[in-house]
């Protein structure tokens, strides 16, 4: 959510931003917002005037009683009662206008950074840089699900019976590799100075609407029937929600956290679910980075964070590239975002394994997260980035380490988490 002062004072800037995001249909909403805001402020002013008048009369009542002016005191008490009745209506209207304004403001996207390329969708995202040399061996790379099955590591058929499409059982050394990658990611980020955290895996609706747009919520979140709880789609939701309504001491900034969680997503949309594979599923596990910092430090943290993900995958000998997300591909709360994509030697192209975003103070405004500085309180900037989401990250490791005989080499960084195991061999039939 942007500061309403931007619409009041720099409306043209907001209009330009809507045009860059190809959301011109929202431009008329700006006038509606200003009208509701003006009515809300006038109503609030009227309420403040009545409250001041009530306080003044209340003081006069005490003086009247002290001076023995009982009839005058009773008249003034009746006047206070009338004011109270008026205030009930004013405060009710104030609440309705505030909610209406919030609903409208939630639909206006954040102001994107000037460096964001303008484009309609992810097909217009821009490659920034490549890290590591993409390699295609002289033998055929099997589909990742086939690699897992040959190693007795994947059972989607049983998961279909228990849970339906989009779920899976990981077994044996593949399950172990999956856990090893998450554990390594945890320690990798702890070594970078981040505080490790395991958050709640369910959050209330006011936290959900604080961290994401309504469209994202409808497409992603699973609602717990009969309760005001949602299963998290990423631990970022819980981690930012941890600071809801808090005023952080400036001396404690920046707050750098790395969090583990299972993640649950509907995956509604044209891309759908994979029937056989693990690339797009309803349930996965993730190691995340979350940072809360001063606004002027946000871009420095953004650049540090995506580089950590690149470093992580390069330590596993996986070639990656970074891709700048264009304006039309940015979620409404984001100021700037880039994807980290891993090389797939089977497909001979890159695929997404992580995403880094800076959201300015949009989430902080929605959730009331501030810092206490020398010159008063201010909203914090929030950032998030994927260290690894598995099994998707595991697919990159499998494809880049499978041998011609079907065995898979374990990257050196993961071997301590696999009990020293260096190679996984296919089951002999």
CA angle 321, 324, 326 (to 5 degrees): 145
Question: CATH code at 222?
Answer: 3.30.930.10
pLDDT tier for residue 213 given thresholds of 50, 70 and 90: confident
Average pLDDT over residues 405-418: 97
The structure tokens listed for 419 are 């009990």
What percentage of the chain carries pLDDT values higher than 70? 97
Q: How large is the average pLDDT for residues 350-360?
A: 96
Label residue 269 by pLDDT band (50, 70, 90).
low
Q: 81-132 pLDDT, tens per residue?
A: 888 888 899 999 999 999 999 999 999 999 999 999 999 999 999 999 999 9
Check if the beta carbon of residue 329 is closer than 8 Å to that of residue 269. no
Residues 154 and 46 grouped into a single domain: no
Residues 76 and 145 both lie in one domain: no
Domain count along the chain: 2
Q: Is residue 82 part of a domain?
A: yes
Instruction: Quote the CA–CA distance of 362 and 380 in Å, as a whole number.
Output: 9
Question: Three-class SS of residue 300?
Answer: helix
With CA atoms as reference, report the closest residue to 187 among 263, 261, 287, 284: 287
Do 304 and 337 sit in the same domain of this protein?
Answer: yes
Predicted local distance difference test score (pLDDT) of residue 93: 92
Helix (H) / strand (E) element for 105: namely helix 70-105
Q: Could you tell me if residue 117 is inside a domain?
A: no
- Residue 223's DSSP bridge partners are 230
Q: How far apart are the first and last CA of the chain?
A: 58
Specify whether the CB–CB gap between 241 and 369 falls below 8 A. no
Integer Cα distance of 46 and 56 in angstroms: 15
**Whole-model pTM above 0.75?**
yes
In a domain, residue 113? The reply is no
CA dist., res. 229 & res. 314, Å (int): 38
In a domain, 112, yes or no: no
Angle at 307 between CA 279 and CA 291, to 5 degrees: 90
Residues 52 and 136 in one domain: no
**How far, in Å, CA of 327 to CA of 335, rounded?**
9
Q: How confident is the model at residue 68, as a pLDDT? A: 83
Angle formed at CA 379 by CA 210 and CA 240, multiple of 5 degrees: 40
Q: In sequence order, what are the residues at sequence separation of 6 or more whose Cβ sits closer than 8 angstroms to the Cβ of residue 11?
A: 30, 34
Structure tokens at 221: 């979140």
Residues 302-333 have pLDDT tens digits of 999 999 999 999 999 999 999 999 999 999 99
Identify whether residues 400 and 347 lie together within a single domain.
Answer: yes
Q: pLDDT at position 273, please?
A: 58
Taking a C-beta distance cutoff of 8 angstroms, is the pair 235, 260 a contact? yes
Q: Which residue has the tokens 């003081």?
A: 59
Q: Report how far Cα 77 is from the mean position of its chain's Cα atoms.
A: 53
Q: Is the pLDDT of residue 1 over 90?
A: no
Helix (H) or strand (E) segment spanning residue 217: helix 214-220
Looking at the fold, whether 50 and 171 belong to one and the same domain comes out as no
Q: Domain residues for 29?
A: 4-105
- Residue 111 maps to a domain: no
Domain end among 71, 105, 139: 105
By three-state DSSP, how is residue 378 classified? Answer: strand
Rounded Cα–Cα distance for residues 65 and 128 (Å): 78
Query: Three-class SS of residue 22?
Result: coil
The two structure tokens encoding residue 366: 């929605």
Largest CA distance in the chain: 105
- Whether 270 shows a pLDDT value over 70: the answer reads no
Q: Which of 245, 232, 246 is nearest to 199 (CA)?
A: 232
| pLDDT score at 268 | 58
69 inside domain: yes
CATH number, residue 52 = 1.10.287.40
Query: Of how many residues is the chain composed?
Result: 429
Q: 374 CB contacts (<8 Å, ≥6 apart)?
A: 250
Q: Beta 195-197 vs 255-264: how paired, if at all?
A: parallel
**Mean pLDDT over each residue of the chain, to the nearest integer:** 93
* pLDDT at residue 291 is higher than 80: yes
Residues 304 and 417 in one domain: yes
Q: 40: pLDDT confidence band, cut at 50, 70 and 90?
A: very high
**Based on the domain organization, do 218 and 82 belong to the same domain?**
no
Backbone angles phi, psi at 67, to 5 degrees: -95, 5
């Amino acid at each position: 959510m942007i500061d309403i002062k931007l619409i009041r004072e720099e409306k043209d800037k907001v209009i330009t931003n809507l045009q860059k995001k190809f959301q011109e249909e929202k431009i008329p909403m700006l006038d509606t917002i200003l009208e509701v805001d003006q009515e809300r402020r006038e109503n609030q002013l009227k309420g403040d005037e009545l409250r001041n008048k009530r306080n003044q009369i209340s003081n006069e009542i005490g003086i009247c009683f002290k001076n023995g002016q009982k009839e005058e005191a009773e008249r003034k008490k009746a006047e206070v009662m009338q004011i109270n009745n008026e205030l009930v209506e004013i405060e009710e209207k104030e609440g309705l206008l505030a909610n209406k304004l919030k609903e409208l403001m939630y639909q206006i996207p954040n102001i994107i950074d000037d460096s964001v390329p303008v484009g309609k969708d992810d097909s217009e995202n821009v490659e920034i840089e490549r890290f590591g040399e993409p390699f295609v061996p002289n033998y055929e790379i099997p589909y990742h699900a086939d690699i897992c099955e040959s190693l007795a590591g994947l059972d989607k058929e049983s998961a279909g019976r228990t849970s339906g499409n989009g779920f899976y059982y990981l077994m044996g050394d593949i399950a172990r590799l999956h856990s090893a990658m998450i554990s390594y990611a945890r320690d990798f980020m702890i070594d970078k100075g981040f505080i490790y955290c395991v958050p709640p895996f369910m959050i209330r609706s006011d936290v959900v609407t604080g961290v994401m747009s309504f469209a994202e919520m409808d497409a992603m979140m699973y609602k717990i029937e009969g309760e005001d709880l949602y299963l998290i789609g990423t631990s970022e939701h819980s981690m930012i929600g941890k600071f809801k309504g808090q005023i952080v001491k400036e001396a404690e900034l920046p707050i750098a956290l790395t969090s583990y969680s299972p993640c649950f997503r509907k995956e509604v949309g044209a891309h759908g679910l994979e029937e056989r594979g693990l690339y797009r599923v309803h349930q996965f596990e993730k190691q995340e980075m979350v940072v809360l910092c001063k606004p002027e430090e946000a871009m420095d943290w953004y650049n540090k964070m995506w580089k950590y993900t690149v470093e992580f995958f390069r330590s596993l000998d996986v070639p990656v590239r970074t891709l700048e997300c264009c304006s039309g591909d940015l979620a409404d709360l984001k100021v700037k975002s880039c994807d980290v994509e891993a090389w797939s030697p089977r497909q001979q192209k890159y695929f997404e394994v992580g995403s880094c975003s800076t959201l300015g103070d949009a989430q902080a405004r929605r959730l009331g997260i501030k810092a206490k500085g020398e010159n008063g309180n201010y909203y914090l900037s929030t950032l998030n980035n994927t260290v690894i989401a598995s099994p998707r990250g595991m697919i990159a490791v499998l494809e880049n380490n499978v041998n011609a005989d079907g065995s898979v080499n374990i990257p050196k960084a993961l071997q301590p988490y696999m009990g020293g195991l260096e190679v996984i061999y296919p089951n002999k039939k």
